[in-house]
Amino acid sequence: MSPALTADDLAVGYPTTDDPIVECENVILPDGEITALVGPNGSGKSTLLKALSGQLEPWAGDVRLGTDDVYGMEKKPLARRLALLSQDGDLPGSLSVRELVQHGRHPYRGFLEPLSETDHAAVDEALNLTGTDEFADDGVGNLSGGQRQLARIAMTLAQEPDVLLLDEPTTFLDLRHQLGVLDAVRALNDERGVTVGIVLHDIAQAARYADNLIALRDGVPYDWGPPAEVVTEQLLADVFGVEATVREGPEIVPHQPL
Ligand SMILES: Nc1ncnc2c1ncn2[C@@H]1O[C@H](COP(=O)(O)OP(=O)(O)OP(=O)(O)O)[C@@H](O)[C@H]1O
């Protein structure tokens, strides 16, 4: 598999930080695969995802989408190929869900240009995939936290990127909707070969779901590869500070209630 998104010799920080938050020699999201970023709170998962997405320019190193330098690309062509669903994001409450999802088509349209049939089809599909078609005409301001999250996911899916980066997309969602979102992303991956980078908090869920894991500790990758190789008792102890048994699967059985 060729890499869809690669980063080399990265150092990523914020204007207010003296030292880099994330330092990685080499990060690869393999083409057509699902890679989950895991690690404890504050280990730098969101920071790495933002750097990979073109939204937080690294202090050093480069990020490439195929052979193209992500930070050298114009915004619209980049947005047609790469989409980020970040953790934060206020939504304009005056919009309906459908109108919000239509915003996902911005990379394909000129200013004030009406939506084409292709745009409408992509919006309808994103609404269906996420189940937001059931409340497509409701105002975003009247939705529950979980419904709002689903609407944001639908907007990102309508963008139809080749590479989809999702930062904790299951936050706020009940179990049924968590599984629904993960299934929808998996379907995009299976059916269209969309490359996925996803931050997931639940390492057991990430291990079941993803083709590859990148485990971050203090801003540095501790290990990466297929879940069966990465999820070891040593990793759980070193990265998460948890004593647990790992059974085949991999299935994690904590020694103490977490
Ligand atoms: N905008 C910012 N400015 C300065 N420091 C930041 C900023 N955003 C994050 N950080 C710092 O970077 C570090 C890593 O944060 P990041 O959000 O990348 O971690 P994370 O692994 O995604 O955490 P979580 O699992 O809690 O979401 C933290 O110490 C955080 O305080």
Query: What does the pLDDT look like over 228-253, one tens digit per residue?
Result: 999 999 999 999 998 888 887 777 77
Task: Please calculate the CA angle 102-36-85 and round it to the nearest 5 degrees.
Answer: 20
Give tens-digit pLDDT for 195-215.
Answer: 999 999 889 889 999 999 999
Above 80 in pLDDT, residue 161? yes
The pTM (predicted TM-score) of the whole model is 0.91
pLDDT at 257: 58
Are 242 and 254 contacting, i.e. CB atoms less than 8 angstroms apart? Answer: yes
CATH number at residue 124: 3.40.50.300
CA of 16 to the centre of ligand 1 (A): 12
Residues in the chain: 258
pLDDT above 70: residue 216: yes
Position 183: which residue type? Answer: D
3-class state of residue 241 by DSSP? coil
State the distance from the centre of ligand 1 to the C-alpha of 146, rounded, in angstroms: 23
Q: pLDDT grade, residue 147 (50/70/90)?
A: confident
Going by alpha carbons, the residue nearest to atom 24 of ligand 1 is 41
Per-residue pLDDT at 132 exceeds 60: yes
Q: Total domain count for the chain?
A: 1
* Residue range(s) defining the domain that contains residue 50: 3-254
Give 82-108 pLDDT, tens digit per residue.
999 988 767 777 899 999 999 999 999
Q: Which of 47, 50, 168, 199 to mutate to test the pocket of ligand 1 (most atoms within 8 A of CB)?
A: 47
For residue 1, the model assigns a pLDDT of 53
Contact 35, 213 (CB under 8 A): yes
Ligand 1 proximal residues by C-beta, below 6 Å: 14, 16-17, 21, 39, 41-47
Rounded to 10 deg, the angle between the 175-192 and 145-158 helix axes is: 10
- The overall average pLDDT reported for the chain is 91
pLDDT at 241: 92
Assigned token pair, 194 = 């969309």
- 43 Cα: distance to centroid of ligand 1 (angstroms): 7
Question: Between vectors from CA 231 to CA 192 and to CA 31, what angle results, nearest 5°?
Answer: 25
Counting from 1 in the atom list of ligand 1, the atom nearest the Cα of 43 is: 21
Give pLDDT, residue 3.
66
- Provide CB contacts within 8 A for 183, sequence distance 6+: none
144 Cα to the center of ligand 1, angstroms: 26
Which H or E element spans position 162?
A: none
